[in-house]
């Protein structure tokens, strides 16, 4: 956690417009949120002592809770991976749609015939000898 705050300070010094910018606050909140992951600091903040299993029943309960937490963590990872895959597919779809639209606009530009001004010359294909326009 100390390294994250050191990185925050060094980035504020080295990067222009970083201090108090969006990414500064994002990094700051992420660094502060690490406090909840460090058990001995968090226990002192909220005033609880370390939970220890003094008998077999507590040990069994803690083991089941640990397994449930691991399963929840694994399910969360799978959900994140699925979201990431969906996001990648959406970005590819968006990119391909933009390419298709740009090609169709180019094709539309090329297919529009230009009208030339009427000429006084008779048209050899028209029976009256003049252009039908």
Above 60 in pLDDT, residue 116? no
pLDDT digits (tens, 9 = 90+) for 34-62: 777 777 777 777 776 655 545 677 777 77
Strand, helix or coil at 121? coil
| Amino acid 48: pLDDT | 67
Q: Residue 53 has what pLDDT? A: 46
pLDDT (average), residues 2-24: 87
- Phi, psi of 112, deg, nearest 5: -75, 115
Residue 96 has pLDDT above 70, yes or no: yes
pLDDT score for 130: 54
CA distances from 130 to 42, 52, 78, 92, 119 (A): 94, 104, 74, 54, 9
In the structure encoding, which two tokens stand for residue 97, read together?
Answer: 């749609």
């Amino acid at each position: 956690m100390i390294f994250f705050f050191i990185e925050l300070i060094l980035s504020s010094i080295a990067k222009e417009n970083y201090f108090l910018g969006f990414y500064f606050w994002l990094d700051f909140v992420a660094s502060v949120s690490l406090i909840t992951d460090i058990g001995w600091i968090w226990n002192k903040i909220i005033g609880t002592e370390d939970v220890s299993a003094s008998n077999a029943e507590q040990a069994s309960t803690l083991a089941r809770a640990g397994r449930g937490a691991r399963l929840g963590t694994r399910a969360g990872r799978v959900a994140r991976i699925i979201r990431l895959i969906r996001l990648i597919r959406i970005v590819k779809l968006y990119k391909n749609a933009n390419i298709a639209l740009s090609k169709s606009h180019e094709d539309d530009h090329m297919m529009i015939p230009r009208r030339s001004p009427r000429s006084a010359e008779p048209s050899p294909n028209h029976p009256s000898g003049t252009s039908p326009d």
